[in-house]
Chains A and B, each alone.
Chain A
Amino acid sequence: MSTHPSLRRRLPGWLVLFLAGPVIWYLTFWLVYLVAEAGCTTGGLDFRLLGLPGLSVITVTVSVLAAGTIAVLTTRAYMRWSDDPSGEDHRRSLMFAGFLLGILFLIATLFIALPALVLEPC
């Protein structure tokens, strides 16, 4: 066993899959909020695409991309949980928690973007 200090440690995979959903949601939330705040305050992003205001397009696009990423990582968490019945219990349990969190934050990401499809943003 090494007794030398080492600060170079990789982020453990279980932690990534455990917290992927909430962290991606949190970053997405801040991003769409800040863009909306900036867009409405400055009057920028003044374009329309497919009948939707520019700000709504950005909100929906960012949210869908984030939701897709969450979906992929949630699926991986599910597979890690279901494919390894004999695995160490703490990793399996956290993978299941990561799966649950992924589903919740997938819903949250899409739910928060939904009004952008029907509301005039500013």
Chain B
Amino acid sequence: MSDRTPGHVPYADTPTVEAPSTDVELDRLWDDPPGLWGRLRAVQNDAVGRRLILTGFFFLLLGGTVDSVVMRLQLAVPDNDLVGPQLYNELFTNHGSVTMFLVILPIFEGFAILLLPLLLGTREMPFPRLGAFAYFTFLLGGLLYYSSTLFSAVPDAGWFGYTPLSGPEFSPDLALDFWVLGLGVAEVGAIAAAIEIIIGVLKMRAPGMTLARMPLFAWAVLVMAFMILFAFTPLIVGSLLLELDRGFDTQFFNPGAGGSSLLWQHLFWIFGHPEVYIQFLPATGIVSMVLPVFVRRRIVGYTWLVAAMVAVGFLSFGLWAHHMFSVGLSPIVLSFFSAASMVIAIPAGVQIFAWLATIWEGRPVWKTPFLFVVGFLALFVLGGITGVMVASVPFDLQAHDSYFVVGHLHYVLIGGVAFPMFAGVYYWLPKFTGRLLNERLGKWNFWLLFIGVNVTFFPMHIVGLMGMPRRIYTYPAGLGWETYNLISTIGVFIIVGGFVVFVTNVVHTHFRGAPAGHNPWGGDTLEWAVSSPPLQHSYSVPPIVHGRHPLWDQKDLHGGDLDDERLVHALSEWPLRWRAALITGTSDADPEEVFRVAGPSIWPLVAALGTVAIFAAELLKLRLGALAGALVIVVAVIGWNWPEDAAITEEEELAFEERHRIPVRVGGSLALARWGTGLLILFLGIAFTSFLLAYFYLRLENLDWPPPGISLPAPGAAVVAGALVLAGAVSMYRALHGIKADDQRRLRVGLAVAAALGGIGVAVQALEVTGVVFDSQTHAYGSIFHVMGWFCLMVAVAGIVMALMTLYWAVRGRYTARRHVPVANVALYWAALAVIWVIGFATLYLTPLLT
């Protein structure tokens, strides 16, 4: 039955994708290998996505549920002695750290990696091995963090790790090292997954799926992924500086030696506040997907919602100091951040009204996913309004560090994030299991959580305004706080009941769930056109999209432009020996390339083990272990990128190209490589900018720069080294132009000269930095001089290694005028490294003269 009322949509008899005879063969080709060894090598997006989500839920049970129950039991009555102050400190530190780093983020990245290929009408994510690496680093980082309990050195300085409490003086044992290093590994994984998501969304959509037709969930995770890149990088830099203070006696955060404890707060909250929106945006993406399907109406204000998400992404980077209103910032700085914190209510409000208008215009079907969406709307509005309250400086000075803020943030994070997450699970799980979750249990699940959240967190606003500070392990009787705390404790058990019902529902569904069919909800997006569960490659014949709601608006999912039609059908028949996927234009989604997707590999796991080895070696103070870890990573990266047998000849490539007028890149996609290199450079640029900010912040904090007794190093050697590196970059571009003209000799000479000049430049500068008369341990000036200098040197060393690897393959005749993507990427990297080098050393050697 179809409803053709204007504005309303059909919700039955939606089309399905074609199922050609090659379905089975392609499914086998794309399947990950069996057995334990096969699982360790698995790279398919469904394996990576599922693992991220399940591991996130596992950490949620550990850090989100158990910790909170114990904390609430402790606070249920005054003067309670269930747990002591030390254990309580460890509990709230663990609760915040785990939920912020190891639960919500990986779950949403898992959602994205699992869902995006289906939603976008493609077969895979762009870099499956990077996805696998992201998962393993996240898992190993989480385990490294949690292994602190085995050593009785549990972190206890809060999820924000403020210095000087987290510094070497007040936290001398290993606890904070576990916190910095374990979560540091997980942060590397978060950035890796973000790169995967950005390029997947921008370059791997079905033909016809322009940016303006993209599902709103894809928009949401695209903005989220860019935010991860911009937010997590400063945190990694901050964590590095903190660990250097702790393990190498630098003075970044020691005000007694020219450092600044506020520098840590800035670096942390430049990450910390966007982190809230990094979690919130994908949740809004889920709401925008689920809501229209359950009110049988197209979403109102699609473009407004896109603009709102982009606005939230940008504005969230101008709010960080509202966590620092009470540290003594100047009035004008307070006003900047207060105003920005209020402005963000505008795009958030636009989203709320667009959703309300969609419900108003539609005809709601009160299934469990929709209940969670409605619950989200109610709870998030409450959390958002209290957010605007704490954006006001005078109010925040009263409410700061009180239970009011605890109530506010839990309304935002549980109401605004966890509820959409549950909506998403109830909505999409049937697609991957082929079975529907039980509706009756779902409704119990919802109501227990909805009531539990309000019973737990609403009283916290009141008790906070009555003066109860957060992070206290107990309180005396007679302050009027008892009843509110007891109610909150009762509430948390109602929430636990909700979780138990949810787990029961999932288990029940596994054994007795009703068959889902391909489109149980009457959904409008492409994932509902494939079988439940989908084939390994999702689409034998990739779809062609003509609108925002392909299943509601199209009868044929593979019809359209004749060239595109021929191409998508050809892809179901060729190639059947290697995993092929389509690259499309960034905005117009016109087919650009057919490329070979990377297959199963053990190297992502090896690279992740190398990464965690570096961090673990620092934890155990086995510095040679870090070197071993770095070597493991180098070997893994070489193995990871080792060219595979092309499987077809250039003639075969050309034949397909001529027939379909599209390049075939069996050696790797040019577009993806360009985007990957661009994002790597962006990552380095953000890290470098974070160092520059640290440098100038420390400069401002010190009247004398360099401090008395230290003279500014002479710039002579730095100028020579800079000239050599710049000449190396020029030579690299000569090599690129050489291979474009099919001149193998120019390529090889250019690469060799670049590596040699770069190597000499690095050697000169390294001798200069190690030879300066001041060390990194006496004063923050020396600390930042040495660390920034070595950062620039490391960036250059990476460029030299790349040049040498490229030279090795050039000597073996690997590159031609048609196939030379790595050369182009390395040249781009060298351009970036030359810029970083010049700005970095000019800052160190010249800016003290200007200031």
Contact = CB atoms under 8 A, between A and B. Distances in A.
27 contacts: A3-B818, A4-B740, A4-B818, A5-B674, A7-B674, A7-B827, A22-B311, A34-B696, A36-B332, A36-B336, A40-B333, A56-B332, A89-B210, A93-B211, A94-B212, A97-B306, A100-B303, A101-B310, A108-B315, A111-B343, A112-B340, A115-B332, A115-B335, A115-B338, A116-B335, A120-B331, A122-B330
Interface in B779-831: 817-818, 820-821, 824, 827-828
Interface size class of A (residues with CB under 8 A): 35 or more
A38 B701 CA distance: 9
A65 interface: no
Contacts of B211: 90, 93-94
A88 interface: yes
A100 B339 contact: no
A90 B213 contact: yes
Interface stretch (B242-250, B406-414, B657-665): B657-665
B382 to A, nearest CB: 24
B697 to A, nearest CB: 8
Interface string B582-606: 0000011000000000000000000
A1 B346 CA distance: 45
Given A7-B827, A108-B340, 10 more contacts: A1-B661, A3-B657, A7-B824, A32-B336, A36-B332, A88-B588, A90-B210, A100-B303, A112-B340, A115-B335
B663 A1 contact: yes
Given A4-B817, A7-B828, A29-B318, A94 B332 contact: no
B357 interface: no
Contacts of A115: 331-332, 335-336, 338-339
A64 B208 CA distance: 41
A101 B588 contact: no
A121 B311 CA distance: 27
Contacts of B342: 111
Most central of A33, A42, A59 by chain B CB within 10 Å? A33
Given A37-B700, A90-B587, A96-B303, A55 B332 contact: yes
A86 interface: no
B314 A93 contact: no
A79 B98 CA distance: 48
Most central of A107, A112, A119 by chain B CB within 10 Å? A112
B202 to A, nearest CB: 11
A19 interface: yes
A112 B339 contact: yes
B343 A108 contact: yes
Contacts of A97: 303, 306-307, 310
Contact of B701 (A29, A34, A41, A90): A41
B314 A25 contact: yes
Contacts of A25: 314, 318
B674 A107 contact: no
B198 to A, nearest CB: 14
Interface in A79-93: 88-93
Nearest to B209: A90
B493 interface: no
B332 A119 contact: yes
A94 B333 contact: no
Contact of A26 (B302, B317, B828): B317
B339 A104 contact: no
A114 interface: yes
A40 B818 contact: no
Contacts of B701: 41
A36 B333 contact: yes
B58 interface: no
Nearest to B674: A7
B347 interface: yes
A3 B330 contact: no
B574 interface: no
B336 A122 contact: no
A17 to B, nearest CB: 12
B304 interface: yes
Contacts of A91: 587
Given A4-B817, A111-B343, A122 B332 contact: yes
Nearest to B818: A3
Given A90-B211, A94-B587, A114-B339, A5 B332 contact: no
Nearest to B309: A97
A122 B740 CA distance: 58
A55 B331 CA distance: 12
Contacts of A120: 331
B583 to A, nearest CB: 13
Most central of B661, B662, B700 by chain A CB within 10 Å? B700
Contact of A112 (B313, B336, B346, B828): B336
A1 B740 CA distance: 16
Contacts of B332: 36, 40, 55-56, 59, 115-116, 119, 121-122
A113 to B, nearest CB: 9
A12 interface: yes
B267 interface: no
Contacts of A105: 311, 314
A90 B545 CA distance: 13
Nearest to A15: B587
Nearest to A103: B307
B314 A38 contact: no
Nearest to A115: B335
B670 interface: yes
Nearest to A99: B307
A121 B334 CA distance: 9
Contacts of B820: 5
Given A32-B336, A108-B340, A3 B307 contact: no
Contacts of B343: 104, 107-108, 111-112
Contacts of B587: 12, 14-15, 90-91, 94
Given A5-B821, A33-B336, A119-B331, A100 B700 contact: no
